[in-house]
Amino acid sequence: MTEQLFILDEIPGVLWTPEDTHGTRPLILMGHGGGQHKKAPGILARAHRFAAERGFAVAATDVPHHGGRPRDQEFDRLATEYRARMAAGEETAGLDTALYTLVVGQTIAEWQTVLTAVQQLDHIGGRPVGYWGVSLGCALGIPFVAAEPRVRAAVLGLQGAPVLAGTAAQITVPVHFLVQRDDERIPRAQSQALFDAIGSAEKTLHANPGKHGDLPRFEMDDSLRFFARHLG
């Protein structure tokens, strides 16, 4: 594994590639969860397996207001209130939308910038692109996948915000969608509704027991097979 940290137009990111390999290869962009960063343990574990076992290149960035990015007072206020309501079991729909609006537009543009730059590298090239992101990574990934024609397949899930349904209908690439049946953050019915809204002709839902953070390790194996099938 080779790990290369970069800053592109003030976007902090990291690129993982197999060591001592030649030629171009498919690229997977990974979106991290809320409150996490580009080298969160789950991101790092998946990046290593995707690169080491399948020869993919993998890129991740700190999305706005996360990781090494500057935070503003409005985002911090909304995020603090969101966490407090979640802990109390109170309604968070309005805060979901407000936080999402602060981040989503900038993130899509930044990910497109990063893809363009990374694909210009000789050992990456213009091969097919995949996207992996759950929770916040899904909330930001749905509009990105819908807007970016270079993305040929996506692993999404742990999300059900109604605000995403209209954009999800614009997705046409194969989708692997993950649900935790005992998710304390996302009602099961909302997860199902978001999956149903995805416009892809080829889409699969994997529902496992457990809470939001209990995604089974074997789902990483299924994600590997999914990307190998659709990206080559």
Query: Residue 95 — very low, low, confident or very high, per pLDDT cuts 50/70/90?
Result: low
Domains of the chain: 2-231 (3.40.50.1820)
The answer to whether 144 and 115 have CB atoms below 8 angstroms apart is no
Tell me, what DSSP letter sits at residue 56?
Answer: -
Q: Which amino acid is at 130?
A: G
Question: Is the per-residue pLDDT at 199 higher than 70?
Answer: yes
Query: In 3-state terms, what secondary structure has residue 188?
Result: helix
DSSP 162: G
Structure-model confidence comparison of residues 61 and 186, the more confident one: 61
Instruction: Using a pLDDT cut of 90, give the percent of the chain over it.
Output: 74
CA atoms within 13 A on the CB side of 96: 17
**pTM metric for this prediction:** 0.91
Q: pLDDT tens, 122-151?
A: 999 999 999 999 998 999 999 999 999 999
